Structure 1
Amino acid sequence: MKTPKILSYLLLSFVGLTTMVACSSDEEGDDTGGGTVSNSLHLKFKTPDWERTINCEQLDLMPMNPADGVYAVSATSASTNETFYFSYPQDSSDMNQVSNYKKYGIVSYGDNDQPFQFSQKLPDNQGSTDRLISLADNSSTYYNEVEKIEYVGHEANYSIFKVKCKYNMRTYLLSNEATIKDVSGTFHFKIRTTRN
């Protein structure tokens, strides 16, 4: 397997920061508040063997720049050892548009280079050292779908948005790539874009 583009960047730029950006170990209830994605900041996954909802209310995601015009964020959950990558437009003016509310691709773990792509790596089951790794796909069955984008404020250099998505992906087992498992879930993250 090749080294993912974003993973290489992450290792160079964010070594030692995993605990600073990790999601909380607390789980949350199902607070959907309309639509299919919870109003609480979270990441939820469901595999054939286990599922978790990770509370991300305290998650402070800083963007990296894996491709021209694209920002991406990543974090690792201390409680589950799940790691995600989510990419989106770098420019705030490209964020909150109705045309963004559609399905996008799932990409190989860490290969996010286009807006609204999602990839992840997570244990095969609770406590496992074996990992499920996302497989690239963009179809009616396997996708990341943007459900809502909301502008929530700004900082000196960034505009801040909240993004709700639901996803369904195929993954392969790291120890046996012929073993394929579906993983589905939702996430609601607070992200930063360049400020206009």
Structure 2
Amino acid sequence: MSAESTDHRKRPRRRGDALVNAILEATIEELAEHGYTALTMEGVAERARASKASLYRRWTSRATLVMDAVYHLLPDPSDIPDTGELRGDLLVLLRQSARTLSGPAGEALRGLLGEALPHPEHDVEIRTRSQGMGRRMMAEVARRAVARGEIPAEAVADVRLDVGQALLRNHFLFRVEPVPDSLVVEIVDTVLVPLFHTVPGRSKPNPH
């Protein structure tokens, strides 16, 4: 393969959705190659064969661009494989999340948090931009379990839908290492499965 064919500066210019997708993919490539701290709007624009103005028309900052790029990586909740049981679905979902954290999305998460802590205005911007994809994916897994009769609908609450992803992020951020599969299994078996089998206000798990 020639240098010209791999040089991102030689790619044809794009418009509309094709341009947006090219910019988001270029952002992921920049994250993987340079990390969050070294990522610049100029670098993304050059890699995507786009003007800086086209980036700033859509994203007001590096943080908002990176957030959209990370969400671009994540699957649609309806695409999560259906294993036929709650435990299996939870394992698939959290393993998928663990793999995502080990790549450019994890690098972005560390960078975004580091940028937001000393600048409260950035924290507000990041929260406003958040799409709650982790909760939506967990909600789909819980919906399937309710439909199968595995768990009661009363056991599903927003705060419970956040627990698994929060535990993964906590390990990733404070241990600064990939999430081991043993931790995924432990979270599913000792936290999530018992939690979703318990109705709030009841002392005993649901018998299903």
Bin for the TM-score computed over the shorter chain:
under 0.3
Q: Where is the strand percentage greater, Structure 1 or Structure 2?
A: 1
Tell which has more relative contact order, 1 or 2 (C-alpha 8 A, sep 6+). 1
TM-score, with normalisation over the residues of structure 1?
Answer: 0.24
Which of the two has higher C-alpha Rg?
A: 2
